[in-house]
């Protein structure tokens, strides 16, 4: 009985884990063309436990490049709210060619179940003619999520065809105006964030488009006047385009290639016979090091010896000095010396009476002395006789 009781939750756990096992989808984005992948209840059919989830269930998604925390640079993710679908969109550049695996985790916000999906993106070059004529429009009447689904995007292209020379139009890039420095609009009915849509074609621009993007038109915009829109705005009722922000790129004229660096100072002439050394010969730095260290050391030692010789061996000495001094000077010196000695000797033994002249105060005539307790400093040196 006991093993069965243990088995039931274990089986439940295993089937639960099984639902996390990733589904895999392969997609083929094209370099330079907009790529949109919708994440919704249909693309995550078995969320979470092999039962289709009703579309009212809120779901959020998290997408990242396999083995990395975030998406590749060219790919963006957006979702308005858990009740709306999520979108992975962007335009791959030539560097993004190849295989990229995006892992998407969907969270059921009601049951807190999760499921994972793996998107294998095989990015390749687009076929067909080049699209040298490219134009970018700022559509003010839409948020980015509203033009990412294929229906509004193709409606935009169809409407735009009326402003272009006949030919196929392709969506090249879609960016939210918020990602280009736009502001979140006030929560007023009808205000949208705006979205930049870039379109390319093999056929040239119409004169109408050229006029709208002309410098004259921009000058009028700068003064707050409407731009020069000479044709009928076929986008008008559905898409409100900011005609002041149309930019045209004509890549049919090849851009001048970057100039090669001209050889000047510091650039060697090209020499076909020059063969650069492949290996540098080993160099011995021992002698250099020894010379650098020993020469100053020896010099310092020499100077020290010279100084020692001058200080110790070149001393005059007392005898030599006495011999060089005249006798009279010597006698004079000896007398002073002797007297000093004597005075010092006398000062050491105070038994002898002090000479009168050294006493603090005495009367010149009577020899009378002041009582010794008087402080000499406050008594006048010579007493008045009266």
Q: Interface with ligand NAG by CB under 6 A: which residues?
A: 32, 91, 93, 138, 173, 175, 180, 242, 244-245
- Residue 65 CB, nearest approach to ligand NAG (Å): 17
Residue by residue, DSSP assigns 112-174 as --EEEEEEEEEEBPPPSS---EEEEEEETT--HHHHSSHHHHHHHHHHHHTTB-SS-EEEEEE
Which CB sits closer to ligand NAG, 115 or 176?
A: 176
Which CB sits closer to ligand NAG, 80 or 180?
A: 180
- Residue 280 CB, nearest approach to ligand NAG (Å): 45
Of 233, 236, 184, the closest CA to residue 212 belongs to: 233
Token look-up 């898409």 returns 239
Of 157, 241, 244, the closest CA to residue 195 belongs to: 241
Q: Are 59 and 81 in contact (CB under 8 A)?
A: no
Which CB sits closer to ligand NAG, 93 or 158?
A: 93
Which CB sits closer to ligand NAG, 103 or 233?
A: 233
Rg of the chain in Å (alpha carbons) = 52
Which CB sits closer to ligand NAG, 115 or 245?
A: 245
Which CB sits closer to ligand NAG, 47 or 75?
A: 75
**Exposed, middle or buried: residue 169 (CB in 10 Å: 0-12, 13-18, 19+)?**
buried
Which CB sits closer to ligand NAG, 34 or 163?
A: 34
Omega before residue 48 within 30° of 0, cis: yes
- Residue 136 CB, nearest approach to ligand NAG (Å): 8
Please state the separation of Cα 96 from the chain's center in Å.
24
Q: Are 349 and 341 in contact (CB under 8 A)?
A: no
Helices (H), the chain: 2-20, 144-147, 150-161, 207-212, 215-222, 286-308, 318-324, 327-348
Phi first, then psi: give them for residue 317, nearest 5 degrees: 85, 155
- Residue 172 CB, nearest approach to ligand NAG (Å): 7
Extract the tokens encoding 36. 């949109």
- Residue 14 CB, nearest approach to ligand NAG (Å): 45
The set of residues, in sequence order, having a beta carbon less than 8 Å from that of 146 and lying 6+ positions away, is: 152, 192, 195
Q: Are 248 and 209 in contact (CB under 8 A)?
A: yes
Which CB sits closer to ligand NAG, 180 or 337?
A: 180
- Residue 21 CB, nearest approach to ligand NAG (Å): 34
Extract the tokens encoding 131. 């699209």
Which CB sits closer to ligand NAG, 12 or 126?
A: 126
Q: Are 23 and 117 in contact (CB under 8 A)?
A: yes
Phi first, then psi: give them for residue 284, nearest 5 degrees: -100, 115
- Residue 287 CB, nearest approach to ligand NAG (Å): 60
| Cα separation, 361 vs 381, whole angstroms | 6
Residue 218, by phi and psi: left (phi above 0), alpha (psi -120 to 50) or beta?
A: alpha
Q: Are 141 and 240 in contact (CB under 8 A)?
A: yes
Which CB sits closer to ligand NAG, 163 or 246?
A: 246
- Residue 181 CB, nearest approach to ligand NAG (Å): 7
């Amino acid at each position: 009985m006991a093993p069965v009781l243990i088995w039931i939750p274990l089986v439940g756990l295993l089937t639960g884990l099984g639902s996390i096992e990733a589904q895999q989808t392969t997609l083929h984005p094209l370099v330079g063309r907009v790529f949109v992948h919708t994440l919704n209840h249909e693309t995550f059919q078995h969320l979470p436990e092999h039962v289709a989830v009703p579309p009212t269930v809120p779901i959020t998604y998290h997408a990242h490049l396999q083995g990395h925390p975030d998406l590749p640079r060219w790919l963006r993710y957006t979702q308005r709210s858990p009740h709306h679908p999520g979108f992975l969109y962007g335009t791959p550049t030539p560097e993004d060619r190849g295989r990229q695996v995006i892992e998407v985790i969907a969270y059921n916000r009601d049951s807190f179940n999760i499921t994972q999906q793996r998107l294998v993106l095989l990015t390749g070059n687009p076929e067909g003619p080049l699209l040298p004529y490219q134009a970018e429009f700022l559509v003010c009447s839409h948020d980015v999520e509203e033009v990412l689904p294929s229906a509004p995007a193709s409606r935009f292209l169809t409407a735009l065809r009326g402003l272009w020379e006949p030919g196929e139009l392709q969506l090249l890039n879609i960016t939210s105006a918020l990602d280009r420095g736009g502001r979140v609009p006030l929560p007023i009915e009808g205000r949208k964030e705006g979205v930049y849509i870039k379109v390319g074609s093999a056929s040239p621009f119409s004169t109408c488009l050229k006029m709208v993007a002309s410098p004259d038109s921009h000058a009028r915009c700068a003064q707050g006047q409407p731009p020069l829109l000479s044709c009928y705005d076929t986008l008008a009722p559905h898409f409100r385009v900011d005609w002041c922000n149309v930019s045209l790129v004509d890549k049919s004229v090849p851009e001048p290639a970057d100039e090669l660096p001209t050889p000047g100072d510091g650039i060697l002439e090209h020499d076909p016979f020059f063969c650069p050394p492949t290996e540098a010969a080993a160099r011995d730095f021992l002698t250099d090091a020894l010379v650098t260290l020993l020469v100053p050391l020896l010099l310092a030692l020499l100077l020290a010896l010279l100084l020692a010789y001058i200080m110790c061996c070149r001393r005059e000495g007392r005898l030599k000095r006495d011999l060089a001094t005249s006798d009279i000077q010597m006698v004079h010196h000896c007398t002073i010396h002797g007297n000093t000695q004597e005075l010092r000797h006398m000062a050491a033994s105070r038994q002898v009476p002090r000479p009168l002249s050294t006493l603090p105060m005495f009367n010149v005539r009577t020899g009378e002395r002041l009582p010794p307790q008087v402080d000499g400093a406050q008594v006048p040196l010579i007493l008045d006789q009266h």
